[in-house]
Amino acid sequence: MITLFMMSIIAIFFSNLFMLISFTISKKSFLDREKCSPFECGFDPMNLARIPFSLHFFLITMIFLIFDVEIILILPMIPTFKLVNLLIWYKTSFFFIIILLIGLYHEWNQNMLNWIN
């Protein structure tokens, strides 16, 4: 137990040391106005460098990513059906699917599933 503690202390020490060295060696200047402006061959920019994006599209994308993670978590439940106690498997599956349905209800209640508001 003590060796694990000492190894974690050494790892934290070295990671902090390397971060400190990288911050002191780097030559980044956050206050330089020219570096923060968009580069267009010396001319003034024709339009904004940061185009706006749809926040609703971003939220739909996040819901899709969460849906993918849910599918990844559900898929191992199928092969483990015959390997574990059925009562425990049913309870775990039921609990997981109830959590997913509560999340779906919350998204539906917040009108996040409608593409056009």
The tens-digit pLDDT sequence of the chain (117 residues) is: 788 889 999 999 999 999 999 888 876 656 666 666 666 566 665 666 666 777 778 888 888 888 888 888 888 888 888 888 889 889 988 998 899 889 889 888 988 777 765
Closest CA to 116 of 53, 56, 61: 56
**Domain edges within the chain:** 55-109
Place of tokens 């009108």: 111
Contact 111, 117 (CB under 8 A): yes
3-state secondary structure 67-116: HHHHHHHHHHHCHHHCCCCHHHHHHHHHHHHHHHHHHHHHHHHCCCCCCC
Q: 3-state class of 13 per DSSP?
A: helix
pTM: 0.48
